Amino acid sequence: MNSLQRHITGLCLCFLTVSLTTQGQTSNVHYTGSTLSVVDAHDGRLEPAVGVHSRQIMRANREHPDMADGVGWTYNHAPMMAYWNQAFFVEYLSNPVGEHEPPAQTLLVRSDDQGKTWSKPMVLFPPYKVPDGTMKEGLPHVAKDLYAVMHQRVGFYLSSTNRLFALGYYGLVLAPKDDPNDGNGIGRVIREIKADGSFGPIYFLRYNHAYNARNTSYPFYRQSKDKGLVKVCEEILANPLYMMQMVEESDRNDPLIPLKKNYKAFSYYHLPDGKVVGLWKHALTSISADG
């Protein structure tokens, strides 16, 4: 067994001791405190912030899957949270045993009491069958009875019209050590989460280079009769900061990705003067003056 936990109120605490200095034209992000984390510990061995509560939202159970997610998969990873209409939503990806091991799916849990209790996981993006015969350039492996592996760094989008959408990404792993986020996957999908708890249909938002509406299992968003959904998808694609979170899985020459570097897990926030602070894995930072 393992558990999937989320520190609800602690999400923004990591920025409280980050400050900016300006010397001429140079701005940089640096840490001004003296407390250092222990990187080998899951919690950094840092003292919990006052007021933070830890809630277990799902506990995997291979022996009794009905007590967990219904399937008994034990690799549950990459939780992302949204708050909308007085409810918390957490999306996370799931594999039977380990990371980057197919099959994969993305699930959703919901809390209507400020995170105290959570719903049973619901399948948001189900396992996706990879066409037999699929290959990747430079690899000798050929797909046969294979399912995609999901990998996403961004999971929700709240539209300007107050509609909530979930996003996921179907990647390809043809062999051990292959990666789903190498720019050679299938594509990114989108689905509406409705106020009554139901889901809209799944659409592809953006394909990788080898895929299109003719060789994929879900329709392209432009085929939807829901004009509002089409507008939301265009809204997403026109948002550079949102698209930057898709850089790992996107085509390496995708024109909608602002910074075409293999940096991982982009997060950002705005400064009072309108500039944007960007942070990535491995302590990489940057500041943008034009959003």
Instruction: Calculate mean pLDDT across residues 127-145.
Output: 96
Per-residue pLDDT at 45 exceeds 70: yes
Write down the domain spans for the chain: 63-288
pLDDT at position 28 is 81
CA–chain centroid gap for 171, Å, is 13
* Mean predicted confidence (pLDDT) in 256-284: 94
Is the pLDDT assigned to residue 287 strictly greater than 90? yes
> For residue 276, what pLDDT band results from cuts at 50, 70 and 90?
very high
Q: What is the pLDDT of residues 160-175, one digit of tens each?
A: 999 999 999 999 999 9
- Amino acid (1-letter code) at residue 47: E
pLDDT of 30 reads 85
Where is mean pLDDT largest: 25-34, 38-47, 204-213? 204-213
pLDDT score of 14: 42
**Is the distance from CB of 162 to CB of 171 less than 8 angstroms?**
no
Reported as a single tens digit per residue, the pLDDT across 59-87 is 999 999 999 999 999 999 999 999 999 99
CA of 277: how far to CAs of 27, 43, 245, 260, 266, in Å? 10, 24, 14, 17, 10
**Whole-number Å distance between alpha carbons of 280 and 153:** 11
How many angstroms separate the CA atoms of 227 and 158, rounded?
A: 16
**Which stretches of the chain are assigned E, i.e. beta strand?**
3-7, 18-23, 26-31, 54-59, 75-84, 87-95, 105-111, 122-125, 149-150, 156-158, 164-171, 187-193, 203-207, 267-270, 276-279, 285-288
Average pLDDT of the chain to the nearest whole number: 91
Query: pLDDT at residue 2 above 90?
Result: no
Instruction: Note the pLDDT of residue 52.
Output: 86
User: What is the DSSP code (8-state) at residue 147?
Assistant: B
Confidence of residue 27 (pLDDT cuts 50, 70, 90): low
Instruction: Calculate mean pLDDT across residues 251-261.
Output: 95
pLDDT given at position 25: 44
Do the beta carbons of residue 118 and residue 132 sit within 8 Å?
no
Q: What is the CA radius of gyration of the chain?
A: 20
The amino acid sitting at 159 is S
